[in-house]
């Protein structure tokens, strides 16, 4: 049996009952479109979250102080106060999988400048901090290694602070007082907006970490966090191991002793935030998939009707020499043609819906190629699975009865 | 000379509430080039015999050699291949595919013939349609053709695989007398060219155009005779026309 003749026969028989074919396809169209739209919404939401998390920084690892216990009383997260500038130096020198390391120490305080005052956080950081957080300056320059060594009283303002202290002028070159210590403004940070949790990321002042530790908080030995960036996102876990190894050695921890620090990665955060979305997407996907199955049952139903209607045709074909397999193939191809055409229209429909949702509902819709391929694959499989029973019934018809059928 | 059909002690029993012996003991030999009619009233077993001869059904016991090959015990697909290559069917109700052209209908058996390419199939089908005088109607659908023309398409379809045997089941049953004569004339022509034809019918007039008549009753052959001078359908058709034109 020649495949083109089969396809032609399928086309003719589907066109013969246009309304019926269209209605049957409708079930598949809805199912395929629903699956793709749900996936597009889920992927879009995920991409949104990932993008917002990426504003936190580049391949970020955040090393925090661990828990301290004294006399069986746990002091809570960050209480161990064992991370130091020397730890950061050791990590910078030895951890080959990292490319920027910045110890940070944070202190809140009243800031006076430009005839106004504002309460904000002064963040003592290393210059690498800008790289860690993928942050750029909109004006001026970052402080230098020399400033760091000299514990220079220079500051870089976040845009919120600048707007509140110097609403009408450039803050560069101005003097401010943080907790009554005078600082000279050398740079202005680009606006970054809110972070994933809704906190204003621009409400801060960056100063050299050495200055912060020795002039603002009064001879503190420990730092709050150490920010680091993995050279490659795939090396995050290995980088974590390197850091752990270095810090355990620096902190002289013996085997069996718990880490007195912990490391958070951006990947963890992303996973945490996307897991809810992913679960919801999956649920909706299953519902959409069920509607696709229902569409398949529609195909089966119509194919059974078609086999009964065309009993005589089957009889004629068998009498002139069609084998069971020929009849089986013919009806299977018809069922697959039905569901596959439905699948293609469903893809186009979902595409239209995605464009509509993006423009009018301002939703991020991402249709991935593999999803389209999978949806088409599933629609073909549905045609095969649900077409098999009717096709088998047709192939098993007795030619004598079939020829007599009115 | 090898017989086209040779049945020995052919029996067919349907096991219903009580066994029905549709064929009791049928021994028939039909040689190439014969033009045979199988006559009988309804219930005589002629349809059962035709189904078995046409490889649509299998005998309960006995042997059936078609063109020298024992086909009594073949499976479903093997019988399909035999039907495809050795037998051309012509039915009472024409049994054409309604939504396909005359040409596609004639090509149908070749669609299932694995040794033919579709180009060869089309050429062959055109030749057969021309042979039955429908060279100018190839693109017509059955609904656009008269009953006689539809039966001609069916005959072309029966011829297309150059079968050993043409098996016609009441081929004139749905046709008026004039068209019946026309179709019988075509069968006579084909037979004159050497095609073996078996016609199953219950009309004695049809029998008179064949060369041999087999009569059946109650599952048995009760009469089998050569007709030395069959009527000439073409000649009768001419007379028929003159009668009606009076």
Cβ–Cβ below 8 Å for A321 and B80: yes
pLDDT at B7 over 70: yes
Tell me, yes or no, if B108 comes closer than 8 A to chain A by beta carbon. yes
Instruction: Report yes or no: B26 and B214 within 8 Å, Cβ to Cβ.
Output: no
CA distance B153 to chain A (A): 14
Q: What is the Cα Rg of chain A in Å? A: 34
CA distance A323 to chain B (A): 5
pLDDT bin (cut points 50, 70, 90) of residue B8 is very high
Write the CA distances from B124 to B100, B129, B189, B193, integer angstroms. Answer: 17, 9, 19, 17
Q: Which of B81, B95, B99 has the CB atom closest to A321's CB atom?
A: B81
Per-position DSSP letters for A266-320, written without gaps between them = HHHHHHHHHHHHHHHHHHHHHHHHHHHHHHHHHHHHHHHHHHHHTHHHHHHHHHT
- Collect all residues of chain B within an 8 Å Cβ-Cβ radius of residue A395: none
How far, in whole angstroms, is CA A284 from its chain's centroid? 18
Cβ–Cβ below 8 Å for B95 and A399: no
Instruction: Report yes or no: B118 and A8 within 8 Å, Cβ to Cβ.
Output: no
pLDDT bin (cut points 50, 70, 90) of residue B38 is very high
pLDDT bin (cut points 50, 70, 90) of residue B245 is low
Cβ–Cβ below 8 Å for A1 and B111: yes
- What is the distance between the alpha carbons of residues A264 and A63, in angstroms, rounded to a whole number? 6
Cβ–Cβ below 8 Å for A400 and B91: no
pLDDT of residue A168: 86
Cβ–Cβ below 8 Å for A323 and B91: no
Per-residue pLDDT of chain A (406 residues; tens, 9 = 90+): 567 777 888 888 888 889 999 999 999 999 999 999 998 988 888 888 877 777 777 688 889 887 766 666 666 666 667 888 888 889 988 888 888 899 999 888 899 988 889 999 999 999 999 888 888 899 899 999 999 899 999 999 999 999 999 988 888 999 999 988 999 999 999 988 877 677 888 999 999 998 998 888 877 788 889 999 988 878 888 888 999 999 898 888 888 788 888 888 877 777 777 788 888 888 888 888 899 999 999 999 999 999 999 999 999 999 999 999 999 999 999 999 999 999 999 999 999 999 999 888 778 888 999 999 999 999 999 999 999 999 999 999 999 989 888 7
Backbone φ, ψ for residue A105 (5° rounding): -135, 140
Backbone φ, ψ for residue A230 (5° rounding): -75, 145
- Collect all residues of chain B within an 8 Å Cβ-Cβ radius of residue A322: 80, 111-112
Q: In chain A, whose CA is at the least distance from the CA of B121?
A: A2
pLDDT of residue B218: 92
pLDDT of residue A384: 94
CA distance A318 to chain B (A): 7
pLDDT of residue A79: 64
pLDDT of residue A385: 94
- What is the distance between the alpha carbons of residues A136 and A158, in angstroms, rounded to a whole number? 11
B-interface mutation test, from A311, A319, A401, most B Cβ less than 10 A away: A319
Give the three-class secondary structure for B84: helix
Q: In chain A, whose CA is at the least distance from the CA of B98?
A: A313
Instruction: Report yes or no: B64 and B7 within 8 Å, Cβ to Cβ.
Output: yes
pLDDT of residue A319: 93
Tell me, yes or no, if B94 comes closer than 8 A to chain A by beta carbon. no
pLDDT tens track for B122-148: 899 999 999 999 999 999 999 999 999
- Collect all residues of chain A within an 8 Å Cβ-Cβ radius of residue B75: none
pLDDT of residue A183: 93
Model ipTM?
A: 0.92
Range B136-161 average pLDDT: 93
A-interface mutation test, from B56, B66, B110, most A Cβ less than 10 A away: B56
The tokens for A146 are 């020399």
B-interface mutation test, from A8, A321, A329, A398, most B Cβ less than 10 A away: A321
pLDDT at B243 over 70: no
Predicted model pTM = 0.72
Enumerate residues 6+ apart whose C-beta is below 8 A from A229: A57, A58, A59, A60, A61, A98, A99, A100, A128, A131, A132
Instruction: Report yes or no: A193 and A203 within 8 Å, Cβ to Cβ.
Output: no
Q: In chain A, whose CA is at the least distance from the CA of B57?
A: A400
pLDDT of residue A270: 75
How far, in whole angstroms, is CA A290 from its chain's centroid? 26
Cβ–Cβ below 8 Å for A320 and B99: no
pLDDT tens track for B72-109: 889 999 999 999 999 999 998 899 998 889 999 999 99
Range B164-174 average pLDDT: 92
Q: Using the 8-state DSSP alphabet, how is residue B58 labeled?
A: -
The tokens for A47 are 């991409």
pLDDT of residue A77: 65
Cβ–Cβ below 8 Å for A323 and B112: yes
Burial class (CB in 10 A: 0-12, 13-18, 19+), A184: middle
- Collect all residues of chain A within an 8 Å Cβ-Cβ radius of residue B84: 320-321
Q: Which of B57, B83, B95 has the CB atom closest to A321's CB atom?
A: B83
- What is the distance between the alpha carbons of residues A405 and A385, in angstroms, rounded to a whole number? 27
Enumerate residues 6+ apart whose C-beta is below 8 A from A260: A65, A66, A67, A68, A80, A82, A251, A253
Instruction: Report yes or no: A383 and A299 within 8 Å, Cβ to Cβ.
Output: yes
pLDDT of residue A363: 82
pLDDT of residue A329: 92
């Amino acid at each position: 049996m020649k495949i083109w003749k089969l396809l032609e026969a399928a086309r003719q028989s589907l066109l013969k009952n246009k309304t019926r074919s269209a209605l049957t396809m409708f079930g598949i169209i809805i199912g395929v479109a629903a699956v793709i739209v749900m996936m597009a919404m889920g992927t879009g939401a995920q991409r949104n979250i990932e993008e917002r998390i990426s504003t936190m920084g580049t391949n970020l690892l955040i090393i925090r102080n661990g828990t301290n216990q004294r006399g069986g009383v746990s002091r809570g997260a960050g209480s161990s106060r064992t991370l130091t500038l020397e730890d950061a130096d050791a990590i910078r020198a030895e951890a080959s999988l990292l490319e920027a390391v910045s110890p940070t120490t944070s202190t809140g305080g009243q800031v006076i400048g430009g005839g106004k005052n504002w309460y904000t956080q002064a963040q003592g950081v290393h210059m690498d901090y800008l790289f860690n957080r993928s942050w750029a300056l909109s004006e001026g320059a970052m402080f230098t290694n020399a400033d760091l060594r000299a514990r220079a009283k220079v500051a870089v303002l976040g845009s919120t602070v600048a707007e509140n202290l110097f609403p009408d002028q450039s803050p560069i070159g101005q003097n401010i007082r943080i907790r009554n210590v005078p600082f000279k403004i050398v740079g202005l940070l680009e606006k970054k907006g809110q972070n994933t949790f809704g906190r204003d990321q621009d409400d801060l002042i960056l100063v050299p970490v050495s200055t912060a530790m020795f002039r603002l908080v009064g001879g503190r030995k420990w730092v709050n966090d150490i920010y680091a960036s993995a050279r490659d996102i795939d090396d995050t876990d290995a980088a974590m191991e390197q850091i752990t190894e270095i810090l355990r050695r620096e902190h002289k921890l013996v085997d069996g002793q718990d880490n007195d620090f912990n490391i958070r990665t951006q990947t963890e955060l992303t996973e945490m935030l996307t897991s809810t979305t992913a679960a919801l997407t999956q649920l909706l996907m299953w519902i959409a998939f069920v509607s696709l199955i229902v569409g398949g049952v529609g195909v089966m139903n119509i194919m059974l009707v078609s086999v009964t209607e065309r009993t005589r045709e089957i009889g004629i074909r068998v009498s002139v020499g069609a084998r069971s397999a020929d009849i089986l193939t013919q009806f299977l191809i018809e069922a697959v043609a039905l569901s596959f055409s439905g699948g293609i229209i469903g893809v186009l429909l979902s595409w239209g819906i995605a464009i509509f949702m993006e423009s009018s509902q301002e939703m991020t819709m991402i249709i991935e190629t593999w999803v389209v391929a999978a949806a088409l694959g599933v629609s073909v499989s549905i045609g095969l699975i649900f077409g098999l029973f009717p096709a088998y019934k047709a192939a098993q018809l007795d030619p004598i009865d079939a020829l007599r059928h009115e | 000379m090898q017989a086209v059909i040779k049945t020995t002690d052919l029996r067919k029993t349907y096991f219903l509430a009580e066994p029905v012996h549709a064929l009791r003991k049928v021994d028939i030999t039909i040689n190439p080039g014969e033009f045979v009619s199988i006559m009988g009233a309804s219930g005589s077993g002629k349809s059962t015999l035709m189904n078995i001869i046409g490889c649509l059904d299998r005998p309960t016991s006995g042997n059936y050699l078609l063109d020298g090959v024992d086909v009594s015990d073949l499976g479903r697909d093997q019988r399909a291949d035999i039907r495809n290559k050795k037998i051309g069917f012509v039915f009472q109700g024409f049994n054409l595919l309604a939504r396909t052209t005359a040409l596609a209908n004639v090509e149908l058996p070749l669609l299932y013939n694995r040794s033919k390419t579709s180009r060869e199939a089309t050429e062959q089908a055109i030749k057969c349609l021309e042979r039955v005088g429908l060279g100018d109607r190839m693109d017509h659908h059955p609904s656009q053709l008269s009953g006689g023309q539809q039966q001609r398409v069916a005959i072309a379809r029966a011829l297309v695989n150059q079968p050993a045997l043409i098996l016609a089941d009441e081929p004139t049953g749905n046709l008026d007398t004039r068209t019946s004569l026309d179709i019988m004339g075509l069968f006579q022509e084909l037979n004159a060219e050497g095609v073996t034809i078996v016609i199953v019918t219950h009309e004695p007039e049809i029998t008179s155009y064949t060369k041999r008549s087999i009569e059946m009753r109650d599952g048995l052959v009760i009469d089998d005779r050569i007709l030395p001078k069959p009527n000439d359908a073409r000649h009768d058709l001419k007379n028929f026309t003159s009668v009606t034109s009076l």
